[in-house]
Amino acid sequence: MNAAALASAIGCLMLAGALAFQHWGDLAPCALCIDQRKAWGAVIAFGTLAVLADGYSRIAVALALLAFAAIAALAGAGIAGFHVGVEQSWWNGTAACGGGMGDIGTTSISDLRDRLLAQPVVRCDEIAWSMLGVSMAGWNGLISLATGVGALYVVVRDIGRERKA
């Protein structure tokens, strides 16, 4: 199934790009960036399973898995849209957006101070990189939206073809 393979390939490229920005560009991801990566991971997983199901002539299963990939991509677009809103100060981010420590697990003030000083703070409301006036979250949102809509289009189209056949 070409659409599923394409969705998986786009997901792989997006994750590779995010990791390149992180490791070669020294742009640490914020909590919302990590959530967007998780959505791409789901797109890759469902898309790959759809390709495999299609290879076994399980068209209905392949279409269902492609639909799940589309939903994951659209969820990623939603997360990215929320992230853009946080960057633009349209609304506040989540509790994790401020570089929170999660479970502190310390018993003394000196342990807490040491953990706080060692903790990198990556804020969701700061734009680390942009191109043509669009932040990385914005580009991710646009690509996620296009991937999700494209995959859903193929699902609806192919369901119609299956019914006619």
Enter the pTM of the model: 0.81
d(CA 112, CA 104): 7
Spatial CA neighbour of 12 closest among 145, 138, 147, 151: 147
| pLDDT beneath 70, residues of the chain | 1, 98-107, 112, 115-121, 164-165
The residue extents of the domains of the chain are 2-164
| pLDDT given at position 1 | 63
| pLDDT given at position 128 | 83
- The CATH number of 2-164 is 1.20.1550.10
| pLDDT given at position 40 | 97
